[in-house]
Structure 1
Amino acid sequence: MESTNKFKLFLPAITAQSNNNISLVSADIRREKTYLALYVTENKKVICKRENTYNTRDFASFPAIINQFIADNSLTNISKIAVAVPGPVIGGVSEPARLPWKVDTEEIRRETHISKVYLINDLEASAYGLENNEGNFLPLHESDHFTPGNIALLAPGAGLGEAGLFWDGSTLRPFATEGGHCEFSPRTSDEVEFYHFLQKIYGIVSWESVLSNEGLFNIYRFLRDVKHQKQPEWLTQEIDSGNFTEAIINGAIEEKDRICNMTIDTFIIFLAREANSLVLKLKATGGLYLTGEIPLMLQRFLNNDKFYKNFIISDKMEVLLKDIPIYLVKDANTIINGAAVYAAFSEE
């Protein structure tokens, strides 16, 4: 791996002739929407040929969604199915809290009559989706002393996704974590006050309660309800319409109201803090990659000094942290693309 971010993933069956010129279906399941796409493999790549989106809760199971996709597109000769889920995968089964039903590889095989089914955590899939994606990486900080190594992937969105890529000396091997559910740790007196505010709501306060769409709103309502910052009328209307995340970020970009900028500044500090922790735990000298819907909207704020200066704060590890390259992943399709890569080339 070079500092130009050319990924070489561990894909043991990428050269297998049996994986060339095959068709597969990949899925990215989310609370509200499920995204499906038809891929074909060509010259060690996966090429998207067709896409559809479905309302997740309109279906009684995931096999019902995928069978609908196959019927809608009159698909035949599907060799593999890849499924990315927003939660842990254990023994071929996942039952994420944000989904209305569990996802089971055996059930998918039985209901679709397709024997090769690959179930993968969505952030692990996103890590696979980084391959050959250098053109969609926006450098936020580049190192003058790059050292190949593990990579950390951080994705605040509907939840807080965290994953890693282990550097084995020649290739990168993605793996999932559930680090977003680790407990939030306050540092300042204001953060202790914020912690107690969240504790009354959740009991156990995880980082996902701070760094997600819901977390962004938690920061906002703490500033509004505890710190007595005024809620403008226009934002009341946006909250009532369910448009809070986009509205608060655009409000900060346009500097419309003080509470918007305070909310985003606080979120950026917390994002830098958790990025710092993830990088240190993984010793991710290969880089930090920020992905997901919120970082994309926060691009302007990630490019200023506030994020980086808070990221490198440490008791003894600032020397390591200042040499970590940081990138924003601008491709919004890394999950579904990465799941397809994993299914296509992880085995024959």
Structure 2
Amino acid sequence: MEPKNKINLFLPGLQSDSNNNVSLIAADLREKVTILGHYKSENQKVNLLAEKSYATKDFNSFSEIANQFIADHALENIDMISVAVPGPVIAGKSQPQRLKWILDEEKIKQKTKVDKVYLVNDLEASAYGLQNVEESDFVKIHDGVTFTPGNVVLLAPGEGLGEAALFWDGQGLRPFATEGGHCEFSPRTNDEVEFYSFLQKIYGIVSWESVLSTGGLFNIYRFLRDVKQQKQPDWLTKEIEADNFTEAVIRGAIENKDRICKMTIDTFLMYMAREANSLVLKMKATGGLYLTGHIPVMLEQFLTNKKFYKNFIISDKMENILADIPIYLVKDEKTILNGAALYAAFYQD
């Protein structure tokens, strides 16, 4: 197989003939919208044949969504289903915090009549999906020169804060999930102590997800508005009422429309650089940092202006290592869906 990029994953079933011509459904399960794709494996890759999105809240279970997708596309003889879930997967089960469902591989098998069902953490799936990204969809934020190959990490602020890593075993990269987004946030400056106190009154325990996510972005904004007394412009009030805050505040910063928009995005990017720093150091990710998801893609022009990198390398003793870590923005927003398909098709030998 001709790789689309230089990501070299550990996929033990890639060479197996039994994994050729497999018909499968992959799903990217999210709080608001769930995306499903019908794939077929061929020549050591997966090809997307059909795709459709569904409003998650309109269904009582994932199995209902899967069966609806099968009916909508008149699919037959599906060999497997792979579901990327926004939470930990333990022993074939998951109970994502932002969903009302308990997911169980065995129950999904029964209700969909599909013999093989896999649940995989969404950021672990995204790590697998890196292999399917075109080289042109990697935006270089910083070009590391010293350490590759090595461990790799993914940071994905979205509806939650996703974090995953890929362990370099000497020959290939082995993705694994983490729940690092739920580690506690810690303030550095007096203003950040004030921000922490603001969040503590709301959440009790303040996690990094309370700072780096769509909800976290709004937390930063309302701290600046309600505590730091920054004015909320009328146009943004309308966008908030229309549930368009994330896109609107980023657009406001890009267009330099109002001070509070720029302050919000600058603060968010600073925190993103700090958490990226911590993730890289904890995993000794000398192979690189990859920023994925809708929010980083929207923030591309801010990520590539060197300010993010300068905040990223601030450290007590590790600046010499951090300075040489390659950093990429992943513009392909289907890494979760594609990765779930790759995992199902080729992880099993």
- TM-score w.r.t. structure 1 length? 0.98
> What residue is the counterpart of 1:295 in the other structure?
296
Deviation at 1:5, TM superposition (A): 5.7
Letter in 1 for 2:164: A
Between the aligned partners of 1:221 and 1:293, the Cα distance in structure 2 is 21
Deviation at 1:147, TM superposition (A): 2.3
Identity of aligned residues (%): 69
> What residue is the counterpart of 1:189 in the other structure?
190
Q: Is 1:8 the counterpart of 2:8 in the alignment?
A: yes
Q: CA 1:39/1:5 → structure 2, altered by over 3 Å: closer, same or farther?
A: closer
Q: What SS does the corresponding residue of 2:131 show, helix, strand or coil?
A: coil
> What residue is the counterpart of 2:140 in the other structure?
139
Alpha-carbon RMSD: 1.0
Between the aligned partners of 2:17 and 2:202, the Cα distance in structure 1 is 54
Structure 2 counterparts to residues 66-85 of structure 1, below 5 A:
66-85=66-85
> What residue is the counterpart of 2:243 in the other structure?
242
Between the aligned partners of 1:163 and 1:138, the Cα distance in structure 2 is 19
> What residue is the counterpart of 1:39 in the other structure?
39
Contact residue 128 and residue 175 of structure 2 kept, 8 A: yes
Deviation at 1:202, TM superposition (A): 0.4
Runs of 4 or more above 3 Å deviation? none
Q: Is 1:315 the counterpart of 2:316 in the alignment?
A: yes
Q: What SS does the corresponding residue of 1:129 show, helix, strand or coil?
A: helix
Between the aligned partners of 1:5 and 1:26, the Cα distance in structure 2 is 22
Between the aligned partners of 1:333 and 1:68, the Cα distance in structure 2 is 21
> What residue is the counterpart of 2:116 in the other structure?
116
Q: CA 1:23/1:5 → structure 2, altered by over 3 Å: closer, same or farther?
A: closer
Deviation at 1:143, TM superposition (A): 1.5
Structure 2 counterparts to residues 156-305 of structure 1, below 5 A:
156-305=157-306
Between the aligned partners of 1:40 and 1:272, the Cα distance in structure 2 is 38
Q: What SS does the corresponding residue of 2:79 show, helix, strand or coil?
A: strand
Deviation at 1:187, TM superposition (A): 0.4
Between the aligned partners of 1:65 and 1:257, the Cα distance in structure 2 is 41
Contact residue 95 and residue 103 of structure 1 kept, 8 A: yes
Letter in 2 for 1:86: P
Q: What SS does the corresponding residue of 2:46 show, helix, strand or coil?
A: strand
Between the aligned partners of 2:65 and 2:271, the Cα distance in structure 1 is 37
Between the aligned partners of 2:253 and 2:116, the Cα distance in structure 1 is 47
Between the aligned partners of 1:28 and 1:230, the Cα distance in structure 2 is 38
> What residue is the counterpart of 2:339 in the other structure?
338
- TM-score w.r.t. structure 2 length? 0.97
> What residue is the counterpart of 1:60 in the other structure?
60
> How many corresponding residue pairs?
345
Letter in 1 for 2:116: K
Structure 2 stretches lacking a partner, 5+ long = none
Structure 1 stretches lacking a partner, 5+ long = none
Deviation at 1:153, TM superposition (A): 0.2
Letter in 2 for 1:32: K
Between the aligned partners of 2:302 and 2:78, the Cα distance in structure 1 is 43
